[in-house]
């Protein structure tokens, strides 16, 4: 769709030099203690910017980037969606509901890929579709209505054998309540079985002890889930009601969260739902933090070391969503990212302004595809240039510098030729990709490497009389410790346990405007501004009014 031509701002002039947006991936505003690699890094350029130039923080997680709640960590995909689109688009639960209601989920390539080997004349006689996830209506990780939709979708597709692996909640809903949700699930399965299907519960357990670990806090939780869901190895019972009743009598069993693992046995005494070659397996949680580790157990190759999987079936695996876009986990997912139109790139192209976008392979898609509203390719040939620097194929803690220097080299090169770009956006992946390794010293070094490149960008901006905006898409390097409910480090073997995940931290944003006499200031009436407010701010600093439907700019004429 075409976009309107933006009007010139009545009070803020267009700069003669470029506007440069530097996204320091994973560099949030953390607790500032010994677990904060950003705080501990020697970063004179960032420190000088934060202390001498207009600086504030932005929300980069939860509701600010379209996730279901503020308990949800941000990620690079939704972060760059918000940065480029200037608005917040629904993610997570709402997005899944939309995909189910419209039929897109069941028409999608991933769903068709899952059910294809299970139906038709070439299907193996006992090949099954396995569905696993948190069974409740808490709507934080999942929702039971979405589970029912998947069951009905399997029936419509002709899937004859379905095995359910529900996990008890008791955290996002009342505790206990698993019996009630299981009764609803059993009624749904019975309705299909009355029409000749073979649908049943195969295994399960409580979320805090089975399958749903996060941040690699305790891989034994995932191991118990793997043994129950995949191998069929756990205490066996003839039906799920008997299983729950027996597990309630065990220590901690009064809580759904702590129910032990179980499997359901058939008349032959064998588990009814072990995963076999030729089966398909889908994890129905839409929230990623407690889905990543099971996904890795299915998708990581022979170098997987977290626990002994004993047997890895040749089964097709998909998640409800992509749980980690940085690591591309899982490779197949049922719900695509949102459709986003009227992105900032479209408005810049309509004005005839030139754009240069660059990162290395790890984040190249974020400054292009995700920035442009989940669209591949150049939006405006002749006005846009995209450049990708090949990433190293080694663990990033081994070379925390990554390709930051080469990214800056390409920015300098692009700005040294005419016609010069009006807008440059770049992403330094170091803070995020090295942060994911959990190596604190390497992550400190990664931040220091990025800081050196920020120094080069400052000099370049001053030389050309432009504007430099430095921010991030989410936190990661800013908190490298696992913490308890009071924010204290979790100590294992005498040392804080490393954290490899994103964080809930806000991210800093700083504006260096090298023009003389340009009178603007940070607004004080937007305390909850987030990443989506950046696009309107960019337009203002480039001398244009922002689109009326964008989140407001956080700068205003002085």
Catalogue the active-site residues: 76
Task: Dump the DSSP string for 166-195.
Answer: EEE--SSS-SS-HHHHHHHHHHHHHHHHTT
Handedness of CA 326, 330, 332, 335 (dihedral sign): negative
CA-nearest of 326, 319, 411 to 370 is 326
Looking at the chain, how many residues does it have?
558
Alpha helices of 319-473 — where are they, by DSSP H?
344-350, 361-365, 404-415, 430-435, 440-464
CA-nearest of 404, 540, 491, 410 to 25 is 404
CA-nearest of 93, 88, 31, 97 to 61 is 88
Task: Dump the DSSP string for 441-481.
Answer: HHHHHHHHHHHHHHHHHHHHHHHHT-EEEEE-SSBSTT--B
> E strands of 248-361, at which residues?
262-264, 280-283, 316-319, 355-360
CA–CA separation, 127 and 405 (whole Å) = 51
83 contacts: CB under 8 Å, gap ≥ 6: 23, 371, 473, 531, 532, 534, 535
CA–CA separation, 511 and 524 (whole Å) = 15
Contact criterion met (CB below 8 Å) for 360 and 402: yes
CA-nearest of 10, 18, 25, 15 to 429 is 25
Contact criterion met (CB below 8 Å) for 43 and 447: yes
CA–CA separation, 522 and 293 (whole Å) = 41
CA-nearest of 28, 231, 204, 55 to 133 is 204
CB neighbours of residue 47 within 10 Å: 12
Contact criterion met (CB below 8 Å) for 95 and 287: no
How many CA atoms lie within 13 Å of 321's alpha carbon, on the beta-carbon side? 28
């Amino acid at each position: 769709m075409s976009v309107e031509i933006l009007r010139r701002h009545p009070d803020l002039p267009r700069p003669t030099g470029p506007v440069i947006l530097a996204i320091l991936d994973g560099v949030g505003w953390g607790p500032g203690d010994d677990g904060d690699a950003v705080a501990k890094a020697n970063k004179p350029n960032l420190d000088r910017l934060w202390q001498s130039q207009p600086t504030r923080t932005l929300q980069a997680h939860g509701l600010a980037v379209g996730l279901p709640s503020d308990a949800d960590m941000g990620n690079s995909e939704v972060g760059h969606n918000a940065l480029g689109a200037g608005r917040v688009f629904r993610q997570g639960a709402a997005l899944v509901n939309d995909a189910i209601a419209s039929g897109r989920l069941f028409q999608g390539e991933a769903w068709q890929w899952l059910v294809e080997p299970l139906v038709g004349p070439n299907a193996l006689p006992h090949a099954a579709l396995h569905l696993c996830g948190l069974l409740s209506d808490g709507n934080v990780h999942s929702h039971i209505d979405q589970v029912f939709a998947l069951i009905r979708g399997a029936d419509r597709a002709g899937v004859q054998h379905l095995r359910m692996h529900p996990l008890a909640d008791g955290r996002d809903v009342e505790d206990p309540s698993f019996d009630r949700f299981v009764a609803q699930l059993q009624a749904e399965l019975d309705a299909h079985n009355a029409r000749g299907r073979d649908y049943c519960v195969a295994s399960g357990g409580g979320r805090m002890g089975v399958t749903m670990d996060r941040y690699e806090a305790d891989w034994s939780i995932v191991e118990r889930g793997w043994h129950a869901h995949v191998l069929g190895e756990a205490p066996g019972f003839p039906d799920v009601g008997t299983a729950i009743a027996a597990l309630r009598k065990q220590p901690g069993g009064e809580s759904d969260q702590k129910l032990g693992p179980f499997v359901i046995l058939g008349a032959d005494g064998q588990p009814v739902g072990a995963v076999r070659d030729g089966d398909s397996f889908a994890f129905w949680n839409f929230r990623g933090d407690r889905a990543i580790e099971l996904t890795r157990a299915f998708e990581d190759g022979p170098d997987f070391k977290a626990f002994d999987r004993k047997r890895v079936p040749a089964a097709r695996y998909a998640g409800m969503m992509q749980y980690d876009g940085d690591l591309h986990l899982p490779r197949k997912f049922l719900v695509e990212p949102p459709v986003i139109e009227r992105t900032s790139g479209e408005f810049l192209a309509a004005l005839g302004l030139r754009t240069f976008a660059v990162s290395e392979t790890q984040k190249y898609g974020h400054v292009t595809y995700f920035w442009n509203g989940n669209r591949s390719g150049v939006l405006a040939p002749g006005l846009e240039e995209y450049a990708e620097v090949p990433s190293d194929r080694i663990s990033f803690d081994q070379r925390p510098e990554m390709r930051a220097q080469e990214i800056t080299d390409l920015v300098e090169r692009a700005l040294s030729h005419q016609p010069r770009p009006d807008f440059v956006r770049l992403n330094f992946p170091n803070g995020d990709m090295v942060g994911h390794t959990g190596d604190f010293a390497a992550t400190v070094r990664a931040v220091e490497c990025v800081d050196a490149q920020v120094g080069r960008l400052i000099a370049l901006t001053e030389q050309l009389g432009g504007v430099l905006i430095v921010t991030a898409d989410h936190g990661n390097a800013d908190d490298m410790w696992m913490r308890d409910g009071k924010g204290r480090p979790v100590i294992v073997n005498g040392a804080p346990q490393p954290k490899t995940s994103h964080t809930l931290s806000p991210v800093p944003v700083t504006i260096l405007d090298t023009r003389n006499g340009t009178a603007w200031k940070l607004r004080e009436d937007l305390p909850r501004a987030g990443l989506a407010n950046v696009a309107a701010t960019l337009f203002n600093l480039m001398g244009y009014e922002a689109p009326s439907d964008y989140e407001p700019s956080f700068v205003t004429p002085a």
